[in-house]
Chain A
Amino acid sequence: MKRAISIFLVLIIMLSLISGCGGSKSEDTQEPSESTKEETSTEEASEKPADLKWDGYELSKGLEGKITFMHWGDDYERQMYADLIEAYEELVPGVEVEQMYTPGDYYTKLQTLAASGTLPDVFWLNEARVKEFSDAGLVADLTDVLEKYPAIAEGMFDGALEYGQADGIQYAIPKDFTSYVMYINVDLFEEAGIPIPTSDWTMDDYIELAEKLTIVENGRTVQYGTAVNNYRADWINFMGNYDAEWFKDGKSNISDPNAIKGLSVPATLVEKGYAPAPGTTGESEDRLFIIGQVAMYPSGRWVVPSFLAECDFEWTAVEFPKGTTRVCPFITANVAISAHTENKEIAANFLSFLMSETGLSYTLASGLSVPLYENLITNKNILGEPAEAFIATSKYIGDKEQIEALATGKWAEYDAIISAELSLVFEGSQTIEEAARNIDKKANETLFND
């Protein structure tokens, strides 16, 4: 009996070992058959469709091969890009684009792929990573791509392309941008009998309105005038609007009086209780606006889909309040091509499709971001409501200091230092001057010391 059991056990082990191997093998063999099926079904396309708005179509003739394309986003974006790829494959029957959708921790995966020399052919790279990747020789020089597909750069807003450059060379193309604006809860303004601010409003107006719109009942704030995030776009905007030289000669310079002036705005708002102390992860501030507890909220375009879906009050967006000037910090995903791709021609062609009006019509429909082209930003089908404030920001895209700081290739760590010190300001344990001093000291000692 005992012997039988042990033999039985050994048999089970053997069997499951065999079936385990077999299982994974059949998995592999399934794939090619699927892709061949796709190819045959799309071979018919040849004539350029009349409604196609893509200049790179002629150059796609005769391209053959396979490229991989990696991006982040939620399931909605995955579907958007799946549709875009399908459209592209239909137009360019010889090419197969493999979508590598990464539902989280994008850079952990991207860097692992980079370290093992298996980067995808085309991939997203945010503005803070371009320098790092170009220094490591991982991204292809796109100068020739821009020559071959001039439509990519044509009509793009001034200052945008710079965010895909490192050392003056174009390594990546910003696919769109997300302007930073002030979202307004119109209902709360009406209740308080206050007119909606116009685009010439200043930081002083902002603070004043925040005070008026804050309601305290029984010692508990039931409505905040505004909310701020401890996020790079926020502090770049506050400093930049005072024309602060917060990054100068390769060094952190947050102690610049104008930078202090700018950062004092959110610090004051929190200190006086007109804004809640921002959390360290950023999500809760969006929520506060959505549940109607916040009258004014500075944020990027990306909140629009959830605001549209979830706000049960009237809301709109106005430009960020003016200090002495106005900047629009640039936050985007750039599209880059791997330096080691075997199919740069195809990758470039696919990139031009991504950036074409037809391509962008797939990806901008979500409302998550704003197109970088003059003719598209005013197109109601592409940039939905609210539009005005976003169109206005396209006139002053970019911040000189942001570009300078990005050029060091050490943005992520610098960013972490600034956030950490500012969170202590919002938490009430240090002043903005102390924070500025700490940031400059820490950053210049450890990061910008050469």
Chain B
Amino acid sequence: MKSATTDISQKKTKGMSLKRKEALTGYLFIAPALISLCVFVIYPVVASFIISGFDWGILSAPKFIGLENYKTLFKDPVFLESLKNTTKWVIIYVPASITVSLIVALAMDMPLRGIGFFRVMFYLPVITPMVVCALLFVWIYNTEFGVLNYVLSLFKIPPVGWLSDKRFSLISIALMSIWKHSGYNMLILLSALQGIPETLYEAAAIDGITPWRKFINIKLPLIMPSMYFVILTSVIDAFQVFTEVFIMTKGGPGYSTHTVSYYLFANAFEYGKMGYACAMAVVMFIIILTVTLIQDRILNKNVQYDI
């Protein structure tokens, strides 16, 4: 923003032409992406902001009702429950999955024999479609004939209703999701780790520091931009968790696995309440944006590269 004002105030001065040229190049570089963003994202988003002010059942003609959808939303116990579950999900899922990813990435960064094998194997769940993974786990988790309970029964542990008991359902889905997605962030962190110049390690080796210090003092600061990316995108994704829930529990039992995205989808395409669903999307958007900005603030203290 600062550069914008200086740019305008000094518009007429000839000496700035180099800077203007650079700005122009910048705009040219982002132009394709920006135009695409406007057409394929911003236009639909603006449309959905507008729709959130209407009583629109997709099929019927929209009727303007102002903020009515929002008022209903905050009185809707199912929405509030979904919001609670989503928050719970983010709090459980994000730290757990990033920790797993980071630990595995650090191990993968070692010059080990057979590392290619490990890298491929660990990544397998990521490339498998979510629908298939979810179906697989529905079946592994099955109370009566699931493999998991079978293994537990060998240790005389009574069957657990992984997906049918509301105390476990959300956690069970989260575990599956961590299984499925850890390879994703692992790969990002790994490529960041691999980008650290060897010379830095060599210098450190001379000082003879412990691996832990090496991690804290060299690796972590240098992969911080990627870490920052991983944290931000994981939080954004976690807030929108949908497919797993849709396939594994349909939000049940009770409302124990209802997430905002699931409830939003159900409203949009099952209950035919598009306006209401859009209002939910707007609220969700504001929440995610706020959380992202807060994270940006916190992480910025540790990263020299800000947004």
> Is A427 close to B, CB under 8 A?
yes
Closest partner residue, chain A, to B134 (CB atom): A281
Closest to B270 in A: A412
Given the contacts A291-B145, A427-B161, A412 and B249 also touching, CB distance less than 8 Å: no
Q: Which residue of B lies closest to A119 (CB)?
A: B59
Q: What separation, in Å, do the CA atoms of A288 and B139 have in the docked complex?
A: 12
Max count, chain B CB within 10 A of own CB: residue among A220, A276, A280 = A280
Which of A135, A136, A284, A429 has the most B CB atoms < 10 Å from its CB? A284
Check: A184 CB closer than 8 A to any chain B CB.
no
What is the CB-to-nearest-CB distance from A285 to chain B, in angstroms, rounded to a whole number? 9
Among A105, A220, A420, the residue within 8 A (CB) of B255 is A420
Residue B172 is within 8 A (CB to CB) of chain A in the complex: no
Per-residue CB contact flags for chain A residues 128-161 toward chain B (1 = under 8 Å, else 0) read: 0000110110100000000000000000000000
Main secondary structure of the interface of B (DSSP, over half): loop
Least CB distance, A289 to chain B, in whole angstroms: 11
Contact B269 A115 (CB under 8 A): no
Near A by CB (< 8 A), chain B positions 111-169 give 138-139, 142-145, 153, 158-159, 161, 163-166
The stretch of A78-86, A106-114, A194-202, A259-267 in contact with B is A106-114
B58, B59, B142, B274: the one contacting A284 at CB < 8 Å is B142
Contact between chains at A288 and B144 (CB < 8 Å): yes
**CB of B138, distance to nearest CB on chain A (Å):** 7
Please tell me if A413 contacts chain B, counting CB pairs below 8 Å.
yes
**Inter-subunit contact A280/B253 (CB<8 Å):** yes
Residue A219 at the B interface, CB < 8 A?
Answer: yes
User: Which of A105, A107, A136, A424 contacts B60 (CB under 8 A)?
Assistant: A136
Chain A hits for B274, CB < 8 A: 115
Complex contact B247–A277 (CB within 8 A): no
Contact among B145, B248, B253, B272 with A424 in the assembled complex (CB-CB below 8 Å): B253
For chain A, what secondary structure do more than half of its interface residues adopt (helix, strand, loop), or is it mixed? helix
In the complex, what residues of A have CB within 8 A of residue B144's CB? 276, 284, 288, 293
Across-interface contacts of B161 in A (CB, < 8 A): 277, 427
Of the candidates A115, A277, A424, the one whose C-beta lies within 8 Å of that of B58 is A115
Residues of chain A within 8 A (CB-CB) of B249 are 280-281
- Is A238 close to B, CB under 8 A? no
* Docked-complex contact A277 and B164, CB < 8 angstroms: yes
Interface residue total, chain A, C-beta cutoff 8 A: 40
Which of A105, A288, A413 has the most chain B CB within a 10 Å cutoff? A413
Q: With A and B bound together, what is the CA distance between A310 and B216 in angstroms?
A: 57
Q: How far is the CA of A413 from the CA of B263 in the complex (A)?
A: 11
Interface status of B53 (Cβ within 8 A of chain A): no
Query: Which one of A114, A132, A138 has the greatest number of beta carbons of chain B within 10 Å?
Result: A132
Q: Which of A115, A287, A423 contacts B254 (CB 8 A)?
A: A423
- In the assembly, what is the distance between CA of A419 and CA of B78, in Å? 14
Closest chain B residue to A279 by CB distance?
B164
Kindly report which residue of chain A lies nearest to residue B131, judged by CB atoms: A104
Report the Cα distance A278→B249, complex, angstroms.
Answer: 11
Question: In whole angstroms, how far apart are the Cα atoms of A410 and B270 in the complex?
Answer: 10
Does A426 lie at the interface of the complex (its beta carbon under 8 Å from any beta carbon of B)?
Answer: yes
Give Cα A424 to B255, complex, Å.
Answer: 9
B59, A280: Cβ atoms closer than 8 Å: no
Q: Which of B238-254 contact A (CB under 8 A)?
A: 247-254
B-side contacts of A416, CB under 8 Å:
251, 266, 270-271
Q: Is the CB of B59 within 8 A of A281?
A: no
For the complex, give the distance between the alpha carbons of A278 and B253 in Å. Answer: 10
CA distance A284 to B139 in the complex (A): 8
In the complex, chain A residues whose CB is within 8 Å of the CB of B77 = 442
- In the complex, the answer to whether B158 meets A136 with C-beta atoms within 8 Å is no
Is B59 touching A135 in the complex (CB atoms < 8 A)? yes
Interface string of B36-61 (1 = CB under 8 A from A): 00000000000000000000011110
A266 to chain B, nearest CB (A): 14
CB under 8 Å from chain A, chain B span 251-307: 251-255, 266, 269-272, 274
| Contact residue among A136, A293, A419 (Cβ-Cβ distance under 8 Å from B145) | A293
Bound: A287/B138 CA distance, A: 12
Q: Cβ of A429: which chain B residues have Cβ within 8 Å of it?
A: 166, 254
Which residues of B lie under 8 Å from residue A419 when comparing CB positions? 250, 252
Point out the residue from B158, B164, B166 that lies within 8 Å of A220, measured CB to CB: B158
CA distance A136 to B56 in the complex (A): 11
In the complex, how many angstroms separate the beta carbon of B85 from the nearest chain A beta carbon? Answer: 13
A280-B249, A281-B249 as given contacts; A111 in contact with B272, CB under 8 Å: yes
B143 touches A276 (CB 8 A): yes
Cβ contact within 8 Å between A427 and B57: no
Residue on A nearest B59 in the bound complex, by CB:
A136
Bound state CA distance, A429 and B159, in angstroms? 18
Given contacts A220-B158, A412-B270, A429-B166, contact A135 B252 (CB under 8 A): no
**Chain B contacts for A287, CB-based, 8 A:** 142, 145
For the complex of A and B, the 8 pairs showing the least CB-CB separation, nearest first, are: A136-B59, A280-B252, A423-B253, A413-B271, A424-B254, A423-B252, A136-B60, A108-B269
Interface residues of A (CB under 8 A from B): 105, 107-108, 111, 114-115, 132-133, 135-136, 138, 219-220, 230, 276-281, 283-284, 287-288, 291, 293, 410, 412-413, 416, 419-421, 423-424, 426-427, 429, 442, 446
- 22 A-B pairs within 8 Å (CB atoms) are namely A107-B270, A108-B269, A132-B59, A132-B272, A138-B59, A220-B159, A276-B144, A279-B143, A281-B249, A284-B139, A284-B142, A288-B145, A293-B144, A293-B145, A412-B272, A413-B271, A419-B250, A420-B252, A423-B254, A427-B161, A429-B166, A429-B254
